[in-house]
Amino acid sequence: MSTTAYGSGEPKAGLNADRRLLIDGRLVDTDRKLESINPATAQMLGYAPDADLPEAHAAIAAARRAFDANDWARDVGLRVHCLSQLHQALIDHIDELRELTIAEVGATRTLTHGPQLEGPIEIVRYYTDLLKSYSFTNNLGIKEIRGARHHRWVEAEPAGVVGAIIAYNYPNQLALAKLAPALAAGCTVILKAAPDTPLITLALGEIIAQHTDIPAGVVNVLSSSDVAVGEALTTHSDVDLITFTGSAAVGKDIMAAASSTVKRVFLELGGKSAAIMLDDADFASAAQFAAFSMVTHAGQGCALTSRLLVPREHHDEIVDLIAANFAQVRYGDPSDPKTYMGPLISARQREKVNRMVRRAVDAGAKLVTGGECVDPGFFYTPTLLTNIDPDSEIAQQEVFGPVLSVIPFDDDDDAVRIANNSIYGLAGAVFSGDHDRAVAAARRIRSGSFSINGGNYFSADSPFGGFKQSGVGREMGVAGLEEFLEHKTFATVVG
């Protein structure tokens, strides 16, 4: 396949790019504007409202009223009805959402048929179905205490007003993985879009306002470049819970800020996941997995296995296989169905990636292939590094670009030690011809998700989250719903 950057990346004619905020059931604009750039062309795509503190406070007040004053929190049937409407509305508008996701996020057309769009839409269906069968009451039975019989039970109720702050890389996934379970639980939500990708998240708000019966104030959607807006969500006493996806550094700041009002905090943060090829693995298939997964969405994925651990005696053989696979990656215009890898989100992010690669080389790493910026747009070629110190910056810090570091190990124990040598613990992978051996290694590595011989763990029904500084809590699955629930214990004396 060609590795030429095509760079057109323009949305189809007639795409409605400009969008509005959703506050208290109304679609509103602001005089201030936030530019959205097409990362495949570096050209202007459209404008989003640039909300400031008055809009943030209005959204918080609307969410508080909607939670306290209407039946949303108590009416499971209404929630099922509205989530069903939302799922159908997303399907009805999928073509428009697809083109906007490609144009603003730089996601390839193929990815929109999976985790960039169609997969997230199915999260809404999953929680709609779960809500129909989930029991919000757990009967503890009768217990005799001091001569009296006491009937006890536990009820799960919504946590309250949720501030949801998302990152730019998979905005549909991140928004719906927070919004759908929060709504299913009975919470009200203020959803803050990522400044680099505001339009696609605001489009979700417009669909909710125009095509569902979700009551005014239950969902509010903001876009803003002002850090004070995010700070308001994390510190305001009327916000009960914060859910955030982004960098570990910002996550720590949010956790600290939320402590002033003792908010519940769910954090899905960074990763520096390792893929391990044990010495009995099928090197060819494992190398293909490692290479092509690493450049998925130009490496802008927190769970991607950016460290590849290989048997020392097979190091050069595997490096050659990875390099050959990287040479086959077709990058360029994300709207072309044949493109495998699109651009990085911005010039700023590309420069960050390039600086990290240059520092790694200066520190002694070998650049096997890649390490090139390609214009127009913000493309960066698939990059393979060897001779990596496991304690170095490139092996320890999240790059968020298409950069794979190969590190040799001596035996299974050494591989596990290197994999665990990280402040993160989000995901991982292991390859072996012996299933039991692979599972045994995986169980020793402290991460929230693990792929065995290419298995796909990511789905609406499977909890996702990390150990250590990769975060707190879980998204998706039953665990994802329960992040947004509080539990209240009742007891009454019976005859």
**In this structure, are 288 and 233 located in the same domain?**
no
For residue 218, the one-letter residue type is: V
Q: Report the interhelical angle of 248-258 vs 227-235 (nearest 10°).
A: 40
- Confidence grade of residue 13 (pLDDT, cut at 50, 70, 90): very low
**In this structure, are 422 and 287 located in the same domain?**
yes
**In this structure, are 202 and 84 located in the same domain?**
yes
Residue 16 lies in a domain: no
Position 3 scores a pLDDT of 39
Domain count for the chain: 2
**In this structure, are 316 and 379 located in the same domain?**
yes
Catalytic residue of the set 99, 268, 475, 483: 268
The CATH number covering residue 429 comes to: 3.40.309.10
Residue 394 · residue 438 · CB < 8 Å: no
Helical H segments across 363-404, by residue range: 393-396
What are residue 482's phi and psi, to 5 degrees?
Answer: -70, -15
DSSP 405-433: EEEEESSHHHHHHHHH-SSEES-EEEE-S
Average pLDDT over every residue of 240-265: 97
Q: Is 82 a catalytic residue?
A: no
For residue 293, the one-letter residue type is: S
The percentage of the chain sitting over the pLDDT mark of 90, rounded to a whole number, equals: 96
Position 18 scores a pLDDT of 82
**In this structure, are 150 and 34 located in the same domain?**
yes
- Confidence grade of residue 431 (pLDDT, cut at 50, 70, 90): very high
**In this structure, are 29 and 154 located in the same domain?**
yes
Examine the pLDDT at 492 and tell me if it is beyond 50.
Answer: yes
Bridging pattern class, strands 33-38 and 219-222: unpaired
Examine the pLDDT at 217 and tell me if it is beyond 90.
Answer: yes
Average pLDDT over every residue of 183-212: 98
Residue 71, class by beta-carbon neighbours within 10 Å (0-12 exposed, 13-18 middle, 19+ buried)?
Answer: exposed
Position 444 scores a pLDDT of 98
Please name the residues in contact with 257: beta carbons below 8 A apart, sequence gap of 6 or more: 231, 234, 235
Per-residue pLDDT tens over the stretch 38-47: 999 999 999 9
Examine the pLDDT at 439 and tell me if it is beyond 50.
Answer: yes
Residue 97 lies in a domain: yes
Alpha-carbon distance of 105 to 345, in angstroms, equals 7
Residue 454 · residue 442 · CB < 8 Å: no
Residue 464 lies in a domain: no
Helical H segments across 296-404, by residue range: 315-326, 347-362, 393-396
The CATH number covering residue 86 comes to: 3.40.605.10
Catalytic residue of the set 82, 302, 398, 483: 302
Average pLDDT over every residue of 426-440: 98
DSSP 183-252: HHHT-EEEEE--TTSHHHHHHHHHHHHHH--PPTTTEEEE--S-HHHHHHHHH-TT--EEEEES-HHHHH
**In this structure, are 218 and 244 located in the same domain?**
yes
- Confidence grade of residue 404 (pLDDT, cut at 50, 70, 90): very high
Per-residue pLDDT tens over the stretch 348-369: 999 999 999 999 999 999 999 9
Residue 6 lies in a domain: no
Residue 330 lies in a domain: yes
Alpha-carbon distance of 223 to 206, in angstroms, equals 13
**In this structure, are 264 and 279 located in the same domain?**
no
Other residues' Cβ atoms within 10 Å of the Cβ of residue 13: 6
Residues of the domain holding 302: 274-452
Residue 1 lies in a domain: no
**In this structure, are 154 and 93 located in the same domain?**
yes
**In this structure, are 67 and 154 located in the same domain?**
yes
Q: Is 475 a catalytic residue?
A: no
**In this structure, are 251 and 166 located in the same domain?**
yes
Rg (CA), the chain: 23
Residue 9 lies in a domain: no
Average pLDDT over every residue of 410-430: 98
**In this structure, are 136 and 189 located in the same domain?**
yes
- The DSSP element (H or E) to which 293 belongs, if any, is helix 283-294
Position 495 scores a pLDDT of 78
Per-residue pLDDT tens over the stretch 50-69: 999 999 999 999 999 999 99
3-class secondary structure, 309: strand
Residue 331 lies in a domain: yes
Average pLDDT over every residue of 209-238: 98
Position 478 scores a pLDDT of 98
